[in-house]
Chains A and B, each alone.
Chain A
Amino acid sequence: MTQTPLVHIENLSVEFPLGRKLLGKPPMLMAVNDVSMDIMPGQFYGLVGESGSGKTTLGLAILRAVPISSGKILFDDSEVSYDISNISQIDLKNYRKLAQLIFQDPYAALSPRMTVRDIIAEPLEVMGLTQNREETDEKVREIAAKCRLNLEHLRRFPHAFSGGQRQRISIARTLVCNPNFVVADESVAALDVSIQADILNLLQSLQDELGLTFMFISHDLSVVAHICDHVAVMYLGTLVESAPTRKLFDNPSHPYTKALLSAIPSLDPDDSGKAQKLEGEIPSPVNPPSGCRFHTRCPLAEDRCRNEVPLWRELSEGHSVACHFTQ
């Protein structure tokens, strides 16, 4: 069975220049370094990592919201296919209807001067997807109902809503143009626990109902474990491990993944998880360590790790890791 991936990424790198230099090249910040991955249609693909690991940049690169330095991104649903790394302006406009983004902070993402109806309708109007106001209104009402917003809500302004409701508005706006690929960047990080569960359940039911493919970016491993069916772990711009959720959590192979898992504070006061604590902090991406980027904090590091970049190897079906030591 060979299924074509919806998003195929090959050796993708994203670099940002730091300031400008009069002569020669300015120093470059390697936000994403040589990343390859496949996202299958209908997948809930999780991307985890600490701040500065490049997970947001990777998400934005797929949406072509940051320039791509090298590598390839192919988008292919059954009807159209685009080469995102080399896309024309017209194709890019069409691509935007298919690939959308949900933001992190529902307080910053909604204009305080627009009613909820106008906020949700704006993508339709900008992209010219509807012919007249009646059609727009109908689409807005339809998606609002799916996101559990009622007609009364549509007339109000965002300030009248709580965090959870705002995130539902934000999701409705993302889905109104009927995309099939959605990047959700830390979409529950700003919400309280009791509301977070509600939004996660909503995303899951919307995926079933509308047949969406999600890339879910988060720093919270327990959230990712619950909602995603495949998880990729990033560290300092590189992928360190990628596996179906169950395999990753039952059998983490990369020392960084192991450390991340044991760093989550356990709900059981008697389980202090002291075994695997990491020393030190994430190094600067301007001047990343040589060889394996994790060697400065890795409990297993040897000379080889300092000199040689570990290869991306497949351990079992769908489970790949970049480490010299894992078998």
Chain B
Amino acid sequence: MSILSVQNLDVLFNTDDGIITAVENVSFEIKEGEVLGLVGESGSGKSVTAKSLMQLNPSNTIYGEKSSILLKNDAEELDVLSMKSAKDLVVVRGGSISMIFQEPMASFAPAITIGNQMVEQLLIHTSLSKRESSELSVEMLERVGINEPGKRFFQYAFELSGGMRQRAMIAMALSTKPKVLIADEPTTALDVTIQAQVLDLMKDLVSEFGMAILFITHDLGVIAQVADRVSVMYLGRIVESGPVREVLNTPAHPYTKGLLNALPKLDALDDPLTPIPGDIPSPLERPSGCVFHTRCPEAIADRCDASIPSQTEFAHRHTASCFAIENVSEAT
């Protein structure tokens, strides 16, 4: 049963240059204990999608009328987008949904100790006393593999190394026992050897805590290692989604294929790198029809630039929106 269900999410920004579409018609569900990977390049709308789950986008954001974000919180079902005030949203923000950010130095307050920050959120979201909160925080720091948790509890973010800060961030995010954890590029700022440690830790924690994870990254290798299912985003739309093995081994959408071909691979050093032609269009000049048609090698004239392809399920739970695939499944 899915904990989080996002349907037809549209996110628009009202800017001085006009209304910009950041996310268009995005739908996905995540089950308990499942990791959904969201891959895409910069400007693809993956972070905006994640922030919408807690309404963390700036005040000029307009959510679509048909959009809905439903979250199961024990017995009740929360409709996130219908919540208007910050007071209502407390249940969601840091309560049923926690978030790990990309740059751990920027997400900890520099002048408050790690311990005080962890205790503060526990006091808001749980009924624990101050003392119980401190004990739980130290326990969580130990659980994520931080040496001398009792000492780290009284330290500031700048006294910790990058890998350690990210571990502390994870400890803090999990201490409120959220139903959904959003990890927004949690290992991008880390070195590869530290990244490997943090990814292992996250995999262990999913099986232990059993929450649903939305894992955002631009790195397909990281997705292969942590996610169960993956959705590929391009310019605000999900172009392909499916189980991680199927999507990476038999990609269907030309964009997913292009991404995989552009990636340098260690086991095929002689293969030339094939870039995706052209640049990512500016959000102000959003292409009509299929958003990828301007760079797509398989684009069909008068079709791909005129109408938007629908999501086609061509294999079990593996969907893609592309006219080339629609044709194949119609023929068979």
Closest to B281 in A: A162
Contact of B269 among A220, A245, A263, A281 (CB under 8 A): A245
Closest to A262 in B: B196
A60 to B142, CA, bound (A): 40
Contact of A201 among B200, B219, B266, B275 (CB under 8 A): B275
A164 to B194, CA, bound (A): 28
Residue-by-residue, is A138-154 near B (CB-CB < 8 Å gives 1, otherwise 0)?
00000000000000000
Contacts of A51 in B (CB 8 A): 162, 191
Least CB distance, A249 to chain B, in whole angstroms: 6
A50, A265, A273 interface centre (most CB from chain B within 10 Å): A265
CB pair A246 B269 closer than 8 Å: yes
A262 to B260, CA, bound (A): 20
Contact of A281 among B161, B219, B265, B274 (CB under 8 A): B161
User: Which of the candidate stretches A22-30, A85-93, A187-195 sits at the interface with the other chain?
Assistant: A187-195
CB pair A277 B197 closer than 8 Å: yes
Residue-by-residue, is A195-237 near B (CB-CB < 8 Å gives 1, otherwise 0)?
1111011000000000000000001111101100000000000
Q: Which of A82-108 contact B (CB under 8 A)?
A: none
Residue-by-residue, is A150-170 near B (CB-CB < 8 Å gives 1, otherwise 0)?
000000000000111100000
Least CB distance, B143 to chain A, in whole angstroms: 17
CB pair A267 B220 closer than 8 Å: yes
A219 to B188, CA, bound (A): 12
CB pair A193 B41 closer than 8 Å: yes
CB pair B279 A162 closer than 8 Å: yes
Is A66 in contact with chain B by the CB < 8 A criterion?
A: no
Residue-by-residue, is B109-132 near A (CB-CB < 8 Å gives 1, otherwise 0)?
000000000000000000000000
Given A201-B275, A226-B273, A267-B220 in contact, is the A194-B192 Cβ separation under 8 Å? no
Contacts of A269 in B (CB 8 A): 224-225, 244-245, 248
CB pair A260 B193 closer than 8 Å: yes
CB pair A225 B269 closer than 8 Å: yes
Is A282 in contact with chain B by the CB < 8 A criterion?
A: yes
Residue-by-residue, is B239-253 near A (CB-CB < 8 Å gives 1, otherwise 0)?
000001100100000
A201 to B193, CA, bound (A): 28
Given A266-B225, A278-B193, A281-B194 in contact, is the A225-B279 Cβ separation under 8 Å? no
CB pair B193 A195 closer than 8 Å: no
Given A221-B266, A263-B195 in contact, is the A192-B248 Cβ separation under 8 Å? no
Is B258 in contact with chain A by the CB < 8 A criterion?
A: yes
Is A259 in contact with chain B by the CB < 8 A criterion?
A: yes
CB pair A197 B275 closer than 8 Å: yes
Is B33 in contact with chain A by the CB < 8 A criterion?
A: no
A164 to B260, CA, bound (A): 18
A263 to B198, CA, bound (A): 11
Is B262 in contact with chain A by the CB < 8 A criterion?
A: yes
Is A301 in contact with chain B by the CB < 8 A criterion?
A: no
Given A249-B269, A265-B195 in contact, is the A281-B275 Cβ separation under 8 Å? no
Least CB distance, A184 to chain B, in whole angstroms: 15
Closest to A188 in B: B264
Is A81 in contact with chain B by the CB < 8 A criterion?
A: no
CB pair A265 B258 closer than 8 Å: no
CB pair B266 A222 closer than 8 Å: yes
For chain B, the count of residues having a C-beta within 8 Å of the partner chain is 43
Is B78 in contact with chain A by the CB < 8 A criterion?
A: no
Is B42 in contact with chain A by the CB < 8 A criterion?
A: yes
Least CB distance, B225 to chain A, in whole angstroms: 5
Contacts of B282 in A (CB 8 A): 162
CB pair B273 A197 closer than 8 Å: yes
Contacts of A272 in B (CB 8 A): 225
Least CB distance, B219 to chain A, in whole angstroms: 7
Closest to B262 in A: A197
Contacts of B225 in A (CB 8 A): 265-266, 269, 272
CB pair A222 B191 closer than 8 Å: no
Is B83 in contact with chain A by the CB < 8 A criterion?
A: no
Given A194-B259, A281-B194 in contact, is the A264-B266 Cβ separation under 8 Å? yes
Given A219-B192, A264-B266 in contact, is the A198-B275 Cβ separation under 8 Å? yes
CB pair B266 A261 closer than 8 Å: yes
A1 to B201, CA, bound (A): 52
Least CB distance, B108 to chain A, in whole angstroms: 18
Contact of B262 among A194, A220, A265 (CB under 8 A): A194
Given A264-B192, A264-B221 in contact, is the A162-B266 Cβ separation under 8 Å? no
Is B20 in contact with chain A by the CB < 8 A criterion?
A: no
Given A265-B219, A281-B161 in contact, is the A193-B269 Cβ separation under 8 Å? no
B161, B221, B266, B272 interface centre (most CB from chain A within 10 Å): B266
Contacts of B221 in A (CB 8 A): 264-267
A129 to B136, CA, bound (A): 67
A264 to B191, CA, bound (A): 10
Least CB distance, A291 to chain B, in whole angstroms: 20
Is B104 in contact with chain A by the CB < 8 A criterion?
A: no
CB pair B269 A267 closer than 8 Å: no
Contacts of A225 in B (CB 8 A): 264, 266, 269
Least CB distance, B160 to chain A, in whole angstroms: 10
A201 to B273, CA, bound (A): 7
CB pair A265 B199 closer than 8 Å: yes
Is A268 in contact with chain B by the CB < 8 A criterion?
A: yes
A277 to B264, CA, bound (A): 22
Given A192-B42, A245-B269, A281-B164 in contact, is the A267-B224 Cβ separation under 8 Å? yes
Known: A261-B266, A267-B220. 14 other contacts (CB 8 A): A50-B193, A162-B280, A164-B279, A194-B262, A194-B276, A194-B280, A200-B273, A219-B192, A264-B266, A265-B219, A266-B225, A268-B224, A269-B245, A279-B197
CB<8 Å pairs between A and B, sample of 12: A51-B191, A162-B280, A192-B41, A195-B279, A197-B273, A226-B269, A260-B193, A265-B196, A266-B225, A269-B225, A272-B225, A278-B196
Question: B residues engaging A (CB < 8 A)?
Answer: 41-42, 161-164, 191-197, 199-200, 218-222, 224-225, 244-245, 248, 258-266, 269, 272-276, 279-280, 282
Closest 3 CB pairs of A and B: A265-B221, A198-B275, A194-B276
